[in-house]
Chain A
Amino acid sequence: MNILYQVAVRNVFRNRRRSLFTLSAIAIGLAVVLIITAVSNAFYRFSIENAVNVKIGALQIHKSGYLSNVSLNQLSFHFQYGQELLRKVESVAGVKAASGRIAFRGLVSNGRNQALFFANGVDVEREQKVCPRWLGTLTEGSQPLLPSDTGQAMVGQELARSLNVAPKGALIRSVVSSETSQQTEPGEFLNLSGSSPQGRQNAIDVQVKATTKSLLPLEEKRSITLPLSAAQSLLGLTGEVTEIAVAVHDLDHLEAVQQRLQAAMGSEFEVSLWSDVQPFLRDVLFRQKVLIGIVSFILFILVLFVIANTMTMAVFERTREIGTMLSVGIKKNQIQRIFFSEAIFVGIIGALAGLLLGLIVVLVLKRIGIPFGSEGFEEGMLYPFLQVPFSCAAFIAAVFCAALAGLFPARRASNMNPVDALRA
């Protein structure tokens, strides 16, 4: 090894306590960045999988123009639904399953009160394959919809409470009627009314089979899920749907499947990612990533200052040594190289320790999982994970910080006047 690098490396181990402090700062800084990123990755995946597996599906197929006009008249974008179409979708590489749906809005009534609702008519048999957790969290006493059901529905628990309905046999707190100021027993049936794409009004009665809980208040207050056949009957869309939800084998290659599916379906249809269908969720997750990025940046800046401080102190302490080296004919760039490589060496050791520490913590957390959920809900688990490119990038960033931190002290050392340095 070149003598200059030998001097640099040995100087790192010269003041062990200080070097240990600096190395710890780099190691802990990098480890924290890796751990919070791993937890954030787990949360990101959990949120996406939750959204994809509970409600949205990884991809959705609509008639072209649906997403841009969804708030105006979503029902006018209906299309024929059958085995032939499903086969076409499921034959695309990467597609796991597909299921037809009708998403619509209407009024729900218990005979005395009425409220707005957002409903999903689902192909009960297929929905299970596309959104394995589509039943969500059912309240006690609820029964899930079955493929054989035709006139049953699952209702958000707040909506059910406001309309004083409950699944048969469910233990539910009865509500006080505002008109009579007397307690009434909860009913079992609701009347749903909606309009066909042509504006024809229709209504059907459904039996409340389940009430559902959700982390989103709007879901609890407005959501109704009913069998596809019931929705088709209500809306006059026999044999038709407004969307097909698609599950894929690997969420990491979603864009590729989307492109293949779009090519297979042609321009008559638009194939959207879950993030296009739920831009709010996408934006929340993006903001979270930005926040983690800012925290990581601040941590790296702190690490940079710690190294710069150590290196500046080293330059002050070794002023006479610098003078000695200058007296034997070392050049400015060689002095710079000593201190710069010392900073990089500190950075590499610290970053390696941080990488190791971070990976160990992440692996332990991945093995045991982090409980995640709210009271009363089915508990989820976060399994933190790291991607190799990010880990490498974080390692390089830590070393880069160290190099950057070494620049100024190295420059300061190289600009010393030999006489002044020897006199120190």
Chain B
Amino acid sequence: MNSSNSSLNALVKDQSKNLIEIHNLKKIYQLGKTTVEALRGVDFSVAEGEFTVVLGPSGSGKTTLLNIIGCLDRASSGSYLLDGEDVSNRDFNDLAEVRNYKIGFIFQNFNLIPVLNVIENIEFPCLVRKEQESRAQLRERVRALCAEVGLERFMKHKPDELSGGQRQRVAIARALITQPRLVLADEPTANLDSNTSDQILELMQRLNRDHATTFLFATHDPRVMDLARRTVRIKDGMVVAN
């Protein structure tokens, strides 16, 4: 009895170290009469605080994997534990809540809301929550984050008044404002010049270090690979190197 309890505790403890636990994950799309297997049984885990890069050629399934990890999409089969919770069978609104509280996104195209200024874009994820902190407290956090990512002078600017690098900084601040467990970045430097890319990557690395936030990248950028502490290669919907 005691031994089985201690082995269960060990398992729980072991799982709690991993923020992401994926087992035999499959994703099948039906395109007309054709069935496409985007993921063909992925086993994969990411520990808390890791700075991980998922690599793979176009069509390898890395974006599909990131979408499922980001709770934007659901797997056809397999299990996915995020922060110890099985999220593979949650409904739409539950997944929205998981995204809001646990995941931050950084996109290739920045994906800011054009009618909101920098402050509003950053605080937006917190303002759509049912239970909200005080506006003053939130503003204070937004200001601190703006200072951290170098946007103090642009807080009232609209996205179309910012450069690509500045927009990506806004996106990073928005991803971090909810104090998520995981930040997913899909080709975050693809639309930036090399100098700006370096600055953005340096910023993300610092944030990973200072906030102990887990970062998971999908990228082709060799500079990102150089920074990553861990690289996962995907090919034809399967993890081929970890």
* A residues apposed to B, CB below 8 Å: 2-4, 6-7, 10-11, 14, 320-321, 323-332, 334, 417-419, 422
The residues of B that contact A3 with a CB separation of less than 8 Å are: 116, 120, 123-124, 127-128
Of chain A, the residue at the smallest CB distance from B111 is A324
The residues of B that contact A320 with a CB separation of less than 8 Å are: 109, 111
* Residues from 73 to 125 in B contacting A, C-beta threshold 8 Å: 73, 92-93, 96-101, 105, 107, 109, 111-116, 120, 123-125
Of chain A, the residue at the smallest CB distance from B186 is A422
* 22 A-B interface contacts by CB (under 8 A): A2-B127, A3-B120, A3-B127, A3-B128, A6-B115, A6-B120, A10-B115, A321-B113, A321-B114, A324-B112, A324-B113, A325-B113, A325-B128, A326-B99, A327-B72, A328-B174, A329-B96, A329-B129, A332-B93, A334-B128, A417-B73, A419-B72
B231 at interface, CB cutoff 8 A: no
The residues of B that contact A330 with a CB separation of less than 8 Å are: 96, 100, 128
State whether B120 touches A14 (Cβ < 8 A).
no
**New contact pairs (19) apart from A321-B111, A329-B97, A422-B111, CB-CB < 8 Å:** A2-B127, A3-B116, A3-B120, A7-B115, A320-B109, A323-B111, A324-B111, A324-B112, A325-B128, A327-B72, A327-B99, A328-B99, A328-B124, A328-B174, A329-B98, A329-B99, A329-B100, A330-B128, A417-B73
Distance to closest chain A CB from B174 (angstroms): 7
Distance to closest chain A CB from B93 (angstroms): 5
The residues of A that contact B120 with a CB separation of less than 8 Å are: 3, 6
The residues of B that contact A4 with a CB separation of less than 8 Å are: 128
State whether B72 touches A326 (Cβ < 8 A).
yes
State whether A327 touches B113 (Cβ < 8 A).
no
Known: A327-B105, A327-B111, A329-B128. A418 touches B73 (CB 8 A): yes
The residues of B that contact A10 with a CB separation of less than 8 Å are: 115-116
8 Å CB contact of A14 from B93, B99, B112, B114:
B114
State whether B125 touches A329 (Cβ < 8 A).
yes
State whether B107 touches A422 (Cβ < 8 A).
yes
B70 at interface, CB cutoff 8 A: yes
Of chain A, the residue at the smallest CB distance from B174 is A328
State whether A326 touches B96 (Cβ < 8 A).
yes
B67 at interface, CB cutoff 8 A: yes
The residues of B that contact A418 with a CB separation of less than 8 Å are: 72-73
Bound: A331/B116 CA distance, A: 19
Of chain B, the residue at the smallest CB distance from A9 is B115
Distance to closest chain A CB from B83 (angstroms): 15
* B residues apposed to A, CB below 8 Å: 67, 70, 72-73, 92-93, 96-101, 105, 107, 109, 111-116, 120, 123-125, 127-129, 174, 178
The residues of A that contact B97 with a CB separation of less than 8 Å are: 329, 331
Of chain A, the residue at the smallest CB distance from B102 is A329
Distance to closest chain A CB from B68 (angstroms): 9
Distance to closest chain A CB from B171 (angstroms): 9
Distance to closest chain B CB from A291 (angstroms): 44
State whether B128 touches A14 (Cβ < 8 A).
no
Bound: A331/B130 CA distance, A: 10
Of chain A, the residue at the smallest CB distance from B158 is A10
The residues of A that contact B109 with a CB separation of less than 8 Å are: 320
Bound: A359/B178 CA distance, A: 50
Known: A3-B127, A418-B73, A422-B72. A331 touches B111 (CB 8 A): no
The residues of B that contact A329 with a CB separation of less than 8 Å are: 96-101, 125, 128-129, 178
State whether A332 touches B128 (Cβ < 8 A).
no
Known: A6-B120, A14-B114, A419-B73. A328 touches B128 (CB 8 A): yes
State whether B67 touches A419 (Cβ < 8 A).
yes
Distance to closest chain A CB from B91 (angstroms): 10
The residues of A that contact B116 with a CB separation of less than 8 Å are: 3, 6-7, 10
Of chain B, the residue at the smallest CB distance from A10 is B115
State whether A327 touches B128 (Cβ < 8 A).
no
Bound: A141/B79 CA distance, A: 105
Bound: A3/B123 CA distance, A: 10
The residues of B that contact A327 with a CB separation of less than 8 Å are: 70, 72, 99, 105, 107, 111
Bound: A4/B113 CA distance, A: 12
Bound: A325/B124 CA distance, A: 9
Distance to closest chain A CB from B122 (angstroms): 11
Bound: A63/B93 CA distance, A: 75
The residues of A that contact B73 with a CB separation of less than 8 Å are: 417-419
The residues of B that contact A325 with a CB separation of less than 8 Å are: 113, 124, 128
The residues of B that contact A328 with a CB separation of less than 8 Å are: 99-100, 105, 124-125, 128, 174
Bound: A334/B72 CA distance, A: 17
The residues of B that contact A14 with a CB separation of less than 8 Å are: 114-115
Bound: A419/B129 CA distance, A: 21
Could you say which of A3, A10, A334 has the most chain B C-beta atoms within 10 Å of its C-beta? Answer: A3
Bound: A320/B120 CA distance, A: 18
The residues of B that contact A324 with a CB separation of less than 8 Å are: 107, 111-113
Bound: A90/B144 CA distance, A: 84
Bound: A323/B99 CA distance, A: 13
Distance to closest chain B CB from A314 (angstroms): 12
